[in-house]
Structure 1
Amino acid sequence: MFMENKFCPFQIMHGFNNLFMFMYALLFVQLLALTYQPVLGQQGDGVVVTKSDYQALRAFKRELIDFNGVLRSWNDSGYGACSGGWAGIKCVKGQVIAIQLPWKRLGGRISEKIGQLQALRKLSLHDNVLAGPVPWSLGFLRNLRGVYLFHNRLSGSIPPSIGNCPLLQTLDLSNNSLTGTIPSSLANSTKLFRLNLSFNSLSGTIPPSLTKSPSLTILALQHNNLSGSVPSTWGTGAGNRSYLLAILTLDHNLISGTIPSSLSKLGFLEEISVNNNQITGTIPNELGGLTRLQKLDLSNNAINGSFPSSFSNLSSLVSLNLEGNRLDNHIPEGLDRLQNLSVLNLRKNNFSGHIPASIGNISGIYQVDLSENKFSGEIPASLGSLANLTSFNVSHNNLSGPVPSLLSKKFNSSSFVGNLQLCGYSTSTPCSSPPPQILPSPPTRPLKKKHHHKLSTKDIILIAAGALLAVLLLLCCILLVCLVRKRSASKGKNDKTVKQAAAGSTDKAAPATTGVEYGGEAGGKLVHFDGPFVFTADDLLCATAEIMGKSTYGTAYKATLEEGNQVAVKRLREKTTKGQKEFETEAAALGKIRHPNLLALRAYYLGPKGEKLLVFDYMPNGSLASFLHARGPETIIDWPTRMNIAIGVTRGLCHLHNQENIIHGNLTSSNILLDEQTNGHIADFGLSRLMTAAANTNVIATAGTLGYNAPELSKAKKSTTKTDVYSLGVIILELLTGKSPGEPMNGMDLPQWVASIVKEEWTNEVFDLELMRDVPTIGDVLLNTLKLSLHCVDPSPAARPEAQQVLHQLEEIQQPEANVGSAEEGTEEVPPPSTTD
């Protein structure tokens, strides 16, 4: 008992020690589990990443070069990887479903360990500087749906294993340095609808297996080294399948052979582009059955034969380019059935015969190039009535006769040179006046010996009548010319002068800002505001004039005054303006508005018969619309120039909204004018105050057809500051994309088209190709400007910013050092309108 009692305290202590050690060990295990919980992968809470995915992400990071520190958030513990703490990672139930790190300046290479992310649906690493091969292990990802690796420096060949991804919908490897052939196994991905391998160095032929895919909607293989012929097996897969291919771009390759007629089986085709290849043969007449086709570009090949008559059935066609081929024969007259046609380019072929007058019935066409062919005869007068025509060229043909006056005044001599018998298009090629029509004398009879022939009374009467008729015809011509010129002066028609009007005071005293009135004998009234020079009513009306364009407000002219100074004159449409007293009050208010980005109203003239002329500063670089869309391929517009225009226009709009309390209501690229330094000046502001309510409604409707109107205007019919901001957003999109808002884009307007491209992660397809060369240095700027413009065109007016906010953000984008705090945010991907897996 003693012994037991003696050792009892020790035994009790020993028991406590065991208990303590047990509790300590348990605590240690719990702490260890807590510390390594992310790696252990407790699933179900959507926050903790699984062990295998964590290891794959760590391996993925190790092979990248993080120039901007974007991956600093990828900590060593894995904590927060699935709760938004790790940049670019999205998870479901602890498994990574998306890696989205575009525009982050990531270098290095893509680890093959990415194949361990078994739940991965989306891999978006576009617009970085990644090198190395495309991982072969992507073929292990059975859930993969979208691969976006465009605009990197990837090399090597395309892994055939990618065809093992049964759910793959989009594969975009464009703008890399990939070589080798296109794997035919890609067609095994039966849900693949977008395949873009353009701008690489791929060789070999186009796999025929791709032509049988029932899901493929976009196939972009342009700018490679592909050879062989265009496959002839389109739409020949087994079963009664519906082939959905809408866009086929194979241009700038080494493709030869002929154009297959089997393309006509693809009833959903909207675009075919095979230009700059080595294609021969004729154009299949069957292509005329593609009623949804909007763009057909077969230029710069060696195609021969005739212009297919079936092309008159292409009712949806917007752009037809057959330049640089060997096509010949006549052009069919049925072209006027192509009422959606905007661009017709038949340059550098062997077409002959007359230019079809039916082209003049295509009201929306704005570009016609028929140069360097063998067309003969006169230029149809109907072409002069094309109000939207901004680019026209018929040079170097066999044309003859006078150029229609409206064409010769709208386009310079380069559009007509090289036609030896063509006249009237410049001062050096005048058309000669027709000679007097004198009736011929009776045939001379041989003189009889010793007898002289005497004219009979009938002969004398005929000769006298002929001479009198010739004189009368000459007098009628002179009188007709005088009447036309006089009528042109009073009606404001486009002629050689703004026109001889009221002879008035020759006083040229300096005008005041409040307006100085100059009267005239004919009852006209000229009111001056401040300006760089002054002129009288006679100076204005006798100035040489050249039509610049027409709008719903009226016709604009470039007027050159006697001393060589130039002004812009807008003749307002008759019966659309308010009464004279109210008109003068509003015009006086507009004449006081001055801002560097607003077109200044310098004077107005009221004619004796109610005509109204507004005089503005002349802008030598024309409108932004023509600057962007009517230039030659050799003219490049860089981003600083475009950004400067966007900021200038926004500053002008801010001034109108905040300082003048004016809503523009008709802001389009056509009424943004550019000076010598390509600074933007908003025109037509405040003109709504001069017009009747009916005229202003017509202005809103016209802007809507061009694609600049906010959606709410279809019902409200009343412009607001938010509808102006919407129009501004469209113009910024126009600067970013280089596309005209009036150009149909798969049935969508420009904002809808951009939003759809962004949603599908094809952001690089949005920007004008001219800007893509500078993406490595201005990628963030383009992306942030795109985000801002989409904000401006939000369908909800309340969601749009004010013009002042747009200006502030544009200035921050232009000078990023002023917004250092948001630099990381500025490199994020453009969020699409809605997201889908």
Structure 2
Amino acid sequence: MPLPPRLRRLNLAGNNFSGPVPDAFLASATLRYLDLSFNGLSGPLRIPPPLANSSTPPCAALTHLRLAGNLVVDQIPGEIAQCRSLRVLDLSRNVLEGPIPPGLGRLTALSVLDVSRNSLTDRIPVELANCRELTVLVLTNLTASPGEQPEFNAFLGGLPAEVLAIRALEVLWAPRANLDGRLPLSRNGTCGLRVVNLGQNYIAGAVPRWFGECQDLAFLDLSSNSLEGSVPTGLMIGCLTYLNVSGNSLSGPLLSSEKSKCSSRLIGDDTVMQYYDELVDNTLIGNSFGSELGGNASVALHDFSNNRFDGTLPSLTLSLHGNYSYGLWLNGNMFNTTLSTGFFGFCNDATGIAVNLSSNQLSGSLDMLSSCITIRSFDGGYNNFSGSVPAGIGGLHLLRSLVLRGNNLTGQIPGQFGDLAALKVLDLSRNYLSGSIPLHLADASHLEVLRFDHNRLSGSIPSSFSELTQLTILDVSFNNLSGDIPNLRHPVDCGFFIGNSLLQQCFGTNASLPPTEPISSSKGAKRWGGQMTKFKSLMVILVAATTAVISFLLVILFFVCERRKRAKISNMRTKVVVTFTDAPPELTYENLIRATSNFSIQNLIGTGGFGATYKAELAPGFLVAVKRLAMGRFQGLQQFDAEIRTLGRIRHRNLVTLIGYHIGESDTFLIYNYLSGGNLETFIHEMGSRKVTWTEVHKIAVDVAQALAFLHCSCTPRIIHRDIKPSNFLLDEHLNAYLSDFGLARLIEVTQTHATTDVAGTFGYVAPEYATTCRVSDKADVYSFGVVLLELMSGKRSLDPSFSQFGNGFTIVSWGRMLVQEDNTSEFFSQGLLDTARKDRLTEMLKIALSCTSESVAVRPSMRQVAAKLKQLGHER
């Protein structure tokens, strides 16, 4: 049904509409604004062709297209470039796969492009640089709330320098996008960037100096990459609300900054402001330091942790406007100076301060800490601080957490700590403190954690600690304490009191019993003894009766709970098929049983450690593969259900599609799309009877590598397959390769049932460290992939009978290494490869496979690196 001819704006967001995106909506010649976000729309996105006798596409007037939060599948259609007036294109939170179409570069009016939380792959098209008005580019987004669509985009290569140089670009958001390469060291034209998030990628090289020319830059996240060198001197650190370069290899001194004149240019576009607020605020509020700063939404963070910075501590001056709290992370570096008043200069600029200096080489006293009256959290653990703990810290009334563990502090614990009404965490462990624990410390009524272990404290533990209602950890182990353990309000770990030979024995929860009152005379003692005898007899009777009643009630409760549990499981195991996509009505339990002839051997198409797979034709032309899991009796039904639902959301062009599943009393099976090309094991076995070309082998190798790289790098949680072998790769009629059985080892684990030996891998493909230690990592998958690649190049099996001439234990890995050492690699490759590819290209692929099968785990490349190298082989001329 067509839309009204004059309709300009249609907003149907946040409903429960299902089915495909209606053609009529995108065929309207007048509709300008279309918002169908957060419904249940599914199927591929179709752009209607131009009407007959018209060169103007129907969607030419559309300026806003929002489809976020649906179940749209397949690729982003290149025809969307026909909607030439588009300013906002939001396709986030769907199940789209494949590349970003280069044709989007023809949308010259495009201002916002959000494709995050899909399953996109391939390179970022350089053609996007033609979108001169592009202001917001969101490629990935990790700030998802619980229950929301996770991020599965995993791009190849680096971010094109031309895209990064778009003058209008203000928000660039691409954390954990699988990007590599280097950032361009030069940039033409003015920089309008306000927000840049490239954290958790594989970007190498130096931090570009031109970031200092971005006058409006307020948010910069380059964390967890492979960056080297120093922080650019021109970067206006004091103007950045968020600066995170942690987890790199940056080095040298961290230079001090002067007070800067920050940009006062306001964000004019409402859409840009919306993205700015949502992305930045979620990152700031969700950061770990938020709680340490009292949950204040107006916060700033500069994180330089876990690098190689050395020398003196920087003197950072902030130039931010308004009231805000400030976190400074310098931990995990090699700073080797003392604390100075210059370092704490930022304390005059913020209303709340959190500082982490742990794991450096700092020395000297902590006296300067008392000058920062707005500090809320300070971690100076694992340094070389010496002298006494300054009593002046007792004047820091905003202090919530103080961690000074692992230093060389001496003297006594200042009693002034009891004046800190906000104090929750006090950790002075692993120092050389002496004297007694101050009684006044119990006046800090909000204390939750007290750690004084591994010191030289003496005397008793103040009994007033029993009045601290929020105290959950009191660790005084390995001191010289004596006397009683107070009755604490929370369960006690007796390990917190060991190493004190004169301390009363710990009895666990509510550690000690109250002492018996002293007896003043023998007559009183006799009378008391008689009363105690009668009292004990009465207590024995009461305890016996109470025990019998409680046991009876527990038995009844057990049977009631067990009955309810069985009823619940029975309800869950009805004959229902749960699907993850719009499935045809033929996909029912009864039809699956009928189509497989009740799992008859005549329909069997494969077996493995996880079970058998059957072919089922539910309707003419509608074929599925049904994997019947050999998992016995379930012990973890709810965990299994949660795991399989997680796997059902995973989409990638080189993974078989999990359509649905069934959990039953007698049968549990998974339903996949059927692939007609058989498996890779059959393909390799038949290589001797037909010549397989370089193009075919290279395509399969890249497909297989990309599938594994996606599981290792882009899934949440990451998935390690653990049974990589040719039979677990399926082919379609065009020889596109798909990885199957991903995540099934994890499913087996959560059911807590016996698993076959195939779950731990198949002999000939198992990495040596996995076979000997049972410790598995993603590098075990890399090893197995290397074996599969060797088979694919040679047409031989991992344990081919022809290897028997070389002795026991000789495998395809040994054969490949031997031929490389003898410079006789031509003997390794199948005849079809030798006829269709240069020898140097084949030898390079062989070396890639052998690097994957290195016995040293550290030497093996990651699957992301392997996929990139294999793809590069296809580009070489």
TM-score normalised according to structure 2 size? 0.43
- Structure having the higher Rg: 1
